[in-house]
Amino acid sequence: MGINLNESEKENKIFSYEISNEAKSLAEKYGYSDYIVERYIKLLGEEVIDLLEFNEIPMPQTIRCNDFLVSCDELEKRLKNKGIKIQKIPFLPHGYEIIESPYNVGATHEYLMGYYYLQDPGSMLVVYLMNPLKNSFIIDMASAPGGKASQILQLTKDSVKLVSVELKKARIKALRSNLQRMGFSSYIILETDARKLSLKNSDMILLDSPSSGEGIIRKDPKRKSSRPRSDMRKIHLLQYQLLNKAIDIVKPGGEITYAACSTAIEEGEFVIDRVLNKRNVDTIKVDSPIGDKAYEEFNGIVFDDRVKNCIRLWPHKHGTEGFFICKLRKEEN
Amino acid sequence: MQAEKGGKLVNLSKSDLKALENFVSQLGINISSIATNLKKLEIENGKYNDIFDIPIQLEIIVNSLESIYTTGFYLGYIKNNKFYPGLTLLRRISRLCNEINCIKLNKKGEKQFLYGKIVKNNIISFKEGLRVILNENDEPIGWGIGKVINRKKEIKIVEPVKDLGWYLRRGG
Segments making up each domain of chain B, as ranges: 8-86, 98-169
Per-residue model confidence (pLDDT) at position A3? 55
Per-residue model confidence (pLDDT) at position B2? 43
CATH (one of 3.30.420.40, 3.30.70.20, 3.40.50.1820, 2.30.130.10) for B98-169: 2.30.130.10
* pLDDT digit string, tens, across residues A251-268: 999 999 999 999 999 999
Strand, helix or coil at B102? coil
Once rounded to an integer, what is the mean pLDDT over residues A316-329?
Answer: 98
Per-residue model confidence (pLDDT) at position A145? 96
The answer to whether A65 is a known catalytic residue is no
* Predicted confidence (pLDDT) at residue B4 exceeds the cutoff of 70: no
Once rounded to an integer, what is the mean pLDDT over residues A191-207?
Answer: 97
Q: What is the pTM of this model?
A: 0.95
Per-residue model confidence (pLDDT) at position A4? 62
Chain B residues within 8 A of A116 when measuring between CB atoms: none
Chain B residues within 8 A of A176 when measuring between CB atoms: 2, 69-70, 172
* pLDDT digit string, tens, across residues B45-96: 889 999 999 999 999 999 999 899 999 999 999 999 999 999 999 999 999 9
Chain A residue whose CA is closest to B63 = A188
Half-sphere exposure of B47 (CA within 13 A, CB side): 3
* Predicted confidence (pLDDT) at residue B1 exceeds the cutoff of 60: no
Percent of chain A with pLDDT over 70: 98
Chain B residues within 8 A of A161 when measuring between CB atoms: 57-58, 61
State the smallest CA–CA distance between residue B9 and chain A in angstroms.
11
Rounded to 5 degrees, φ, ψ at B53 are -105, 115
Residue A93 pLDDT grade (very low, low, confident, very high; cuts 50, 70, 90) = very high
ipTM: 0.93
State the smallest CA–CA distance between residue B116 and chain A in angstroms.
13
* Predicted confidence (pLDDT) at residue B171 exceeds the cutoff of 80: no
DSSP assignment of A99-159: EE-SS-TTSSHHHHTTSEEE--HHHHHHHHHH-PPTT-EEEESS-TT-HHHHHHHHHTTT-
Per-residue model confidence (pLDDT) at position B3? 42
* pLDDT digit string, tens, across residues B86-121: 999 999 999 999 888 899 999 999 999 999 999 998
Q: CATH says B8-86 is which class?
A: alpha beta
* Predicted confidence (pLDDT) at residue B5 exceeds the cutoff of 80: no
Once rounded to an integer, what is the mean pLDDT over residues A53-79?
Answer: 98
Mutate to test the interface with A, among B63, B64, B70 (most CBs of A within 10 A): B70
The neighbour count for residue B84, using CB atoms within 10 Å, is 17
Mutate to test the interface with A, among B50, B56, B58, B166 (most CBs of A within 10 A): B58
- Find all residues with CB under 8 Å of B114, minimum gap 6, and list them: A109, A112, B141, B142, B163, B164, B165
What value does the mean pLDDT of chain B take? 92
Q: Are A174 and B171 in contact (CB < 8 Å)?
A: yes
Which of B57, B67, B167 lies nearest to residue A177, judging by beta carbons?
A: B167
Chain A residues within 8 A of B88 when measuring between CB atoms: 180, 183, 185
